[in-house]
Amino acid sequence: MKFEVENKDDGVILHLEGKIIGDSAAQLKQILEEQIDSDVKWIILDLADVPLMDSSAIGTMIMAFLKLKEKNGKLVILYAQKNIQEVLSITKLNTLFEIFDNMQNALQSVKSI
Amino acid sequence: MTREIALDIPSEFRHIYLLDLVLSYIAKEMDFDEETKEQVNLAVIEAGTNAIKHGNQGDPTKAVHFRFDLSDGQLAISIKDCGEGFKPDEVNDPLSPENFMKPCGRGIFLMKALMDEVEFDVSGNCGTEVKMVKFKMSNGNERI
C-alpha cells in the first residue's frame, strides 16, 4: 500500500493507494496513529485508489474513528469504490462512517466540527 | 471436468498478497465477473487471515493449506490450518449493539455474506477446515 499525507490547516487528507490486505492493515494503523498523535482534528480517508480492503483494515478505520471522536474530532471516507461500499453496507458500517463522493462535501463535513 | 489448484503458504500476513495473485488467476479461469471476483477474493483473504492469526497463531513454521476446485458451475474452496480449532457457533454477531463498534470480529460474517456456501469442519485431527462454494451465475442470474 502507498500513501500520501496532504496537510490542511487542522486536519489531513490521507490518500491511500493499493489493496489494504494482509500486513497493510498494520501499516494503515501506524499511519493513522501518527496523525492522531500529532493532534490533527480531522482525517479524510481518500480511498479512490483502493480496490480492496479486508476486515482488519476496516477495524483500523473504526479504531481511528473512535480515537478522533474521543478528542472531538472526525474521520470521514472519500471516494469508496463499489467493493468497499458493499462491505461497509453488509457490515452496516455505512451508518457509522460518513462517505462522500466529492471533496468539497467531505471538507465541509470535517470543518463543521 | 474439475481442475484442482493447491497452495500452501507460511503463516505470515505478507503472504496474503500471493493469495491475492492466485485468486486473480482463478477468477480469470472461472470467467467470473468483476463483482464475483472481488467477493471471492475478500472471502478467501478473510479465511486465510483467520487461519494465520487464530488458527496457526502467526507461527511461520506452520502452513495454511488452500485448495481450489474449479468446475463449470462452481468454485469450491478449502482453507485448512493446523491450530486448536474453534467453535463456529460461539462467534459473536458483529451487527449486535455490543459488538458493532469493535475493531475485530467481522471476518466470518463477511465470508458468509459474500459466498454461497460456508461451513466449518473442526472434526479432523488438528485445526479448522473452512469449506466455501461460489456458484457461477448466468446473465439471467441463475446457476449454470
Find, in chain B, the residue whose alpha carbon is nearest to that of A87.
Answer: B110
Q: How far apart are CA B102 and CA A45, in angstroms?
A: 19
Of the candidates B14, B17, B103, the beta carbon closest to that of A62 is on B103
| b/e per residue B9-29 (b: at least 16 CB within 10 A) | bebebebbbebbebbeebbee
Helices (H), B5-141: 16-30, 34-50, 107-114
> What Rg do the C-alpha atoms of chain B give, in angstroms?
15
pLDDT score of B140: 67
Q: Is the pLDDT of residue A105 over 90?
A: yes
Confidence tier at A83 by pLDDT (50, 70, 90): very high
Q: Is residue B94 one of the residues assigned to a domain?
A: yes
pLDDT score of B88: 77
The dihedral sign for the CA sequence B44, B112, B137, A82: negative
Name the domain count of chain B: 1
pLDDT score of B1: 83
- Look up the domain containing B12 and give its range: 3-135
Count of CB contacts below 8 A, A vs B?
A: 68
Torsion of CA B45, B47, B51, B53, to 10 degrees: 60
- Look up the domain containing A89 and give its range: 2-111
Q: Determine the length of chain B.
A: 144
Q: Is residue B140 one of the residues assigned to a domain?
A: no
Q: How far apart are CA B91 and CA A27, in angstroms?
A: 27
Mean pLDDT value across residues A32-59: 96
| Residue contact A22–B14, C-beta within 8 A | yes
Q: Is residue B91 one of the residues assigned to a domain?
A: yes
More confident position, A62 or B143: A62
Q: Is the pLDDT of residue A19 over 80?
A: yes
| Residue contact B42–A60, C-beta within 8 A | no
Q: Note down pLDDT in tens along chain B; length 144 residues.
A: 889 999 999 999 999 999 999 999 999 999 999 999 999 999 999 999 999 999 999 999 999 999 999 999 999 999 999 998 777 778 899 999 999 999 999 999 999 999 999 999 988 778 999 999 999 987 667 777
B69 vs A66, B51, B56, B121, CA distance in Å? 42, 19, 24, 17
Helices (H), chain A: 24-37, 55-70, 82-90, 103-111
Which residue do the cell numbers 495454511 mark? B64
pLDDT score of B87: 78
| Residue contact A21–B101, C-beta within 8 A | no
Q: What is the CATH number of the domain that holds B82?
A: 3.30.565.10
CB B74 within 8 A of CB B133: yes
Confidence tier at A97 by pLDDT (50, 70, 90): very high
Q: What is the CATH number of the domain that holds A8?
A: 3.30.750.24
Q: Is residue B141 one of the residues assigned to a domain?
A: no
Q: Is residue B144 one of the residues assigned to a domain?
A: no
Name the domain count of chain A: 1
Q: How far apart are CA A102 and CA A106, in angstroms?
A: 7
Q: Which residues of B touch A (CB under 8 A)?
A: 12-17, 20, 35, 38, 41-42, 45-46, 49, 94-95, 100-104, 106-107, 109-110, 113-114
